[in-house]
Amino acid sequence: MAKLRVSRDAGAARRATFMEPAQKITLGFAGAVALGTLLLMLPVSSAEGRWTGVVDALFTATSAVCVTGLTVVDTATHWSGFGQVVILLLIQLGGLGIMLFAALVGLLLARKMSVRARLVAGAETKTSGDGNTRRIGIGILQTSLAIEAVVALLLCLRFVFGYGYDLPKAIWYATFHAVSAFNNAGFALYSDNMMSFVADPWICLPLCLAIVLGGLGFPVLRQLRRELWVPLRWTMNTRIVLIMSGALLAAGTVFFTVVEWSNPATLGKLDPAARLLAGFFQSVQARTAGFNSVDISQLHDGTWLGLDVLMFIGGGPAGTAGGIKVTTFAVLFFIVWTELRGGTSVNIFGKRLSRAVHREAITVVVIAIGAIITVTLLILNITDVDLDLVLFEAVSAFGTVGLSAGITATLPDAAQLMLVLLMFLGRLGPLTLGSALALRERRIAYELPKERPAIG
């Protein structure tokens, strides 16, 4: 009896240890949203010196902390300088918080391994295998600030010499948009977002650079910094993220440019070079950033659907991007490919994929689809908005993208609160769920008889 009690106590302690990071990050983000809501409600945060409604403040705070970018009020005109600073800080906190937590999860996973497995993992990633939370956290902070500083400098120079901004204004605008871009937030200090710069590569390309780097994820950036010219040493995660990100960016650019080429309300009014730039820019934004250089509400229905797919997939894990992540999508693709070929195991880049990863990827995708469909149905039942528009907003919220067809501000409070929950779930759900699944593994001493139901 004593032995059984010790076993149960050990199991409970192990489960508590595994769940603690997810609980802490969820409570931490909820606390940040609550504090941000209170600050944004204050008259000092409003350009007119008035109290902001709780739903508007809550929506904006959640969108900033979850680095989404959806808005119900105009960021450029509704908020004062103080309010915009609050939004900027919430964006930075949200982006860095996700990355730090992802690094912590990776550390916990490493500690869960045996000494031999840790040494193997350390040899593969060129680390000690022991992990160091403080060192990882400092590395993430340094990488983030360095990228943001470089992009801010490029934008500042363009604002000063290209648009005649005075230096303080140029520094503020450059800093805000650099931080918003790297953290894949999509908040802008212009009422038309980035539409005024649709043909300006000196503005669009630095923003795209920050978005892509933030969306790759810190593990990839860390390995590229150390082993950029030694691709044979890259991990499976790095290879998948780079290949899938490149493929999706290229496919998104071609798709958006071709479909919208003759649309007079979007690309049709631009010269060919500007059309290509705008097509690439919007393909990058669909990877969960949310800036727009063309009017999203004027896109063709087919373009909305294509962007839905890109937003749902998102960017790389352990970064500032949202969505189900390109690694999850790649795992599902290779599972299907292996099944079609009649294979018995999924092999990626010369290595066999663990069956536990199969289950984790399928679970994340099914829950994501379920959440999006549920919110879409609920909003459809309380509004008269068309399905394609509601679905676009729901996918954008879950993927923490921020692209909008222009209906967010017109939705009733109940629908906006549903999007708030979807943003929160989309930002924290895949990561906390993924860590919980990876850390929750338990051994069963028996197996039931096999039986196959009819499929298809």
Predicted TM-score of the model (pTM)? 0.86
Q: Tell me: pLDDT of 385 over 70.
A: yes
Q: Tell me: pLDDT of 442 over 70.
A: no
Q: Which helix (H) or strand (E) holds 227?
A: helix 218-227
Q: Which residues are paired to 79 by β-bridges?
A: 46
Q: Which long-range contacts (CB under 8 A, 24 or more apart) does 51-55 make?
A: 52/78, 55/413, 55/416, 55/417
Q: Which residues contact 209 (CB under 8 A, 6 or more apart)?
A: 151
Mean pLDDT of the 274-280 span: 97
b/e string for 3-33 if b means 16 or more Cβ within 10 A?
eeeeeeeeeeeeeeebeebbeebbeebeebb
Strand, coil or helix: what is 431? Answer: helix
Mean pLDDT of the 42-48 span: 97
Question: How confident is the model over 225-271, as pLDDT tens digits?
Answer: 888 888 888 989 999 999 999 999 999 999 999 999 999 999 999 99
pLDDT for the residue 187: 96
Mean pLDDT of the 346-353 span: 88
Decide if 393 contacts 426 (C-beta within 8 A). no
Question: How confident is the model over 194-204, as pLDDT tens digits?
Answer: 999 999 999 99
Distance CA 353, CA 134 (A): 30
Mean pLDDT of the 284-310 span: 94
Mean pLDDT of the 60-65 span: 96
Listed by start position, the domains of the chain span 11-439
CB atoms within 10 A of CB 242: 18
Mean pLDDT of the 360-385 span: 93
Helix (H), strand (E), coil (C) string for 147-164 = HHHHHHHHHHHHHHHHHC
- Of 28-42, 111-125, 172-186, the poorest mean pLDDT is in 111-125
How does DSSP classify residue 71? -
pLDDT for the residue 437: 52
How does DSSP classify residue 52? P
CB atoms within 10 A of CB 78: 21
Higher-confidence residue: 56 or 229?
56
Looking at the chain, the whole-number percentage of residues with pLDDT higher than 90 is 62
Q: Tell me: pLDDT of 126 over 80.
A: no
Decide if 365 contacts 324 (C-beta within 8 A). yes
Residue 456: exposure state from Cβ atoms within 10 A (0-12, 13-18, ≥19): exposed
pLDDT for the residue 452: 72
Decide if 427 contacts 94 (C-beta within 8 A). yes
Q: Tell me: pLDDT of 105 over 60.
A: no
